[in-house]
Structure 1
Amino acid sequence: MSPELLADLNPLIALVQGSLWAGFVVFLRVGAMLALLPLFGEMSIPARVRLGLGIAFSLIVLPVVGDTLPPPGASSHILALTLSEVATGLAFGMFLRLFVLALQTAGTMAAQSTSLSQLFGSGPGGEPSPAMTHVLVIGGLALAAILGLHVQVAAYMIQSYALAPAGTILDPGMLLEAGVGEVGRTFALAFSLAAPFVAAALLYNVTLGVINRAMPQLMVTFIGAPALTAGGLMLFLVAAPVMLSVWIAAFQGFMANPFGNLP
């Protein structure tokens, strides 16, 4: 290869190297975030598919944030950048994974309140879970996908660079405050979703106690248990659409304005 041809190829080589570096930096955060995202990060999705999704989302995010990425540096700088970007991606992904945890907690509470926790199904990650939990999680993920989860995830990834630019290390105090706030909101959302079942179970137990005091000879448990199960199924039929609508509103609200409720 002649020196003249090498000289002509040098700008192209520099451009390719810069693009590969920028793509590598973006993939660090996007790949880590994708591992915990609802729907896209489920364990039931093959690893090759998740790798392809990570590359696809990186290609979407790269043109928007490419000018804000740090230039290549020494090996120590690359190591620090890798650790910080992976940690940032995991943190942002975990905040969205908490919403799936809210559905799982709500389904478990509803199943235990209606004596249906012994009916197990396989969750999206393959782990056994009550049938109510399985229905809520699958329904919530399907609803999120129908309402454009892929577009919202891409916007969320881009917005993460405005909240935490590439190469910066998250403040532990701020991360702790945000984490505690989001965990508290997760359990509050879960209890709000399962509140009808908790209230129905309380009313059932109070009524059963009154009947048992009035007629001690009557085996109220054998009469009340089928009624509780049937009532729980009918209540779930009515309440599940409302539960999913409340959940998707909270989920989309957080994605549109992450940590907007924090000072």
Structure 2
Amino acid sequence: MEHYATAQQVFAAGLVFARLAAIVMLIPGIGESFIPPRIRLSLALVMALMLFPVIGPGVPPVPASVGLLAGAVIKEALIGLMIGGILRLFMASLASAGEIVSIQTTLSFAQTANPTQGSPTATLGTFLGLIGVVLVMTTDLHHMFIAAIVKSYTIFPFHKPVMVNDAGRLAIETVAKSFALGLQMSAPVMVFALIFNVATGLVGRVMPQFQIFFVTSPLMVLLGLSIFALSLGMMGMTWLDRYRDVLRPFG
């Protein structure tokens, strides 16, 4: 290949591609499981060729042994998986909100195949997950993902070891924030369900002969979904703002 590229250029392009491929395989919107892996890897290859003139000069020389070469590639893949995994973890807030709303509206038994997770989940959780992907692509939030990829070479340069402890702490904080956000987004339905269940219990105590739960179950579903629909815009905007806060250190 010396006629087309030197060994150093091939090594540098391979390192760039290793990190980009790991990130692209996981980031929301682009890295969804229903997108064929060949398409995602092709996109990562194109992005690696585009970023190579900018990032390539900072790549260290070619290692002297095969072991060091493999270690460098594995290190870049681990960094990419770490960044992509953290960006993917925040999507759990939508699934959490959907699960909570499903439980409060007695619809948790309704399961639908979730294309973003590859397994059946609550129907409302699947719906919110798809809404999240749509919001990511329509609001150009994926541009911040690309900016985070470029910024990652400043935060995690080639010559420094992987900060495993910091990455683990960041992952734990991201999971905690995502579950807290899911609880906050489902708060309107939770408050309604609490008031409705208390009122239903009081009516049942006052009128024991009246089959109150047969009457209130359809009302719970109807009113709960109505409140969920009315608060859907607020949930989407809140989720986008929090996602931008997560991306800001990388972008």
TM (norm. structure 2) is 0.92
Larger deviation, residues 172-181 vs 132-141? 172-181
Unpaired segments ≥5 residues, structure 2: none
The count of corresponding residues between Structure 1 and Structure 2 is 249
Amino acid at match of 2:89: L
- In the alignment, is the contact (CA less than 8 A) between 1:136 and 1:240 conserved in 2? no
Structure 2 CA distance for aligned equivalents of residues 95 and 127 of structure 1: 20
What does residue 109 of structure 1 align with? 100
The answer to whether 1:123 aligns with 2:111 is: no
Structure 2 CA distance for aligned equivalents of residues 247 and 114 of structure 1: 22
Summarize deviations over 1:29-67 as a string: whole Å, max 9, x none.
111112211121111111211111211222333233222
Structure 1 CA distance for aligned equivalents of residues 114 and 50 of structure 2: 30
Larger deviation, residues 187-196 vs 61-70? 61-70
The answer to whether 1:225 aligns with 2:217 is: yes
- In the alignment, is the contact (CA less than 8 A) between 2:25 and 2:41 conserved in 1? no
Alignment counterpart, residue 84 of structure 2, candidates 93, 113, 123: 93
Summarize deviations over 1:155-191 as a string: whole Å, max 9, x none.
0101111111124322232222222221211111111
- In the alignment, is the contact (CA less than 8 A) between 2:188 and 2:228 conserved in 1? no
What does residue 240 of structure 1 align with? 232
Structure 1 CA distance for aligned equivalents of residues 147 and 220 of structure 2: 44
User: Secondary structure of the residue that 2:186 maps to in structure 1?
Assistant: helix
Structure 2 CA distance for aligned equivalents of residues 60 and 94 of structure 1: 23
The answer to whether 1:32 aligns with 2:22 is: yes
User: Secondary structure of the residue that 1:128 maps to in structure 2?
Assistant: strand
- In the alignment, is the contact (CA less than 8 A) between 2:90 and 2:174 conserved in 1? no
Structure 2 CA distance for aligned equivalents of residues 95 and 190 of structure 1: 16
Q: How does 1:104-253 map to 2 (within 5 A)?
A: 104-125=95-116, 126-253=118-245
RMSD of aligned alpha carbons:
1.9
Amino acid at match of 2:208: P
What does residue 52 of structure 2 align with? 62
User: Secondary structure of the residue that 2:90 maps to in structure 1?
Assistant: helix
Structure 2 CA distance for aligned equivalents of residues 99 and 225 of structure 1: 33
What does residue 42 of structure 1 align with? 32
Unpaired segments ≥5 residues, structure 1: 1-8
Summarize deviations over 1:82-139 as a string: whole Å, max 9, x none.
1211111111111111121111111111111111122222212332122211221111
Larger Rg: 1
Alpha-carbon deviation of 1:251?
Answer: 1.1
What does residue 5 of structure 1 align with? none
Structure 2 CA distance for aligned equivalents of residues 147 and 58 of structure 1: 24
TM (norm. structure 1) is 0.88
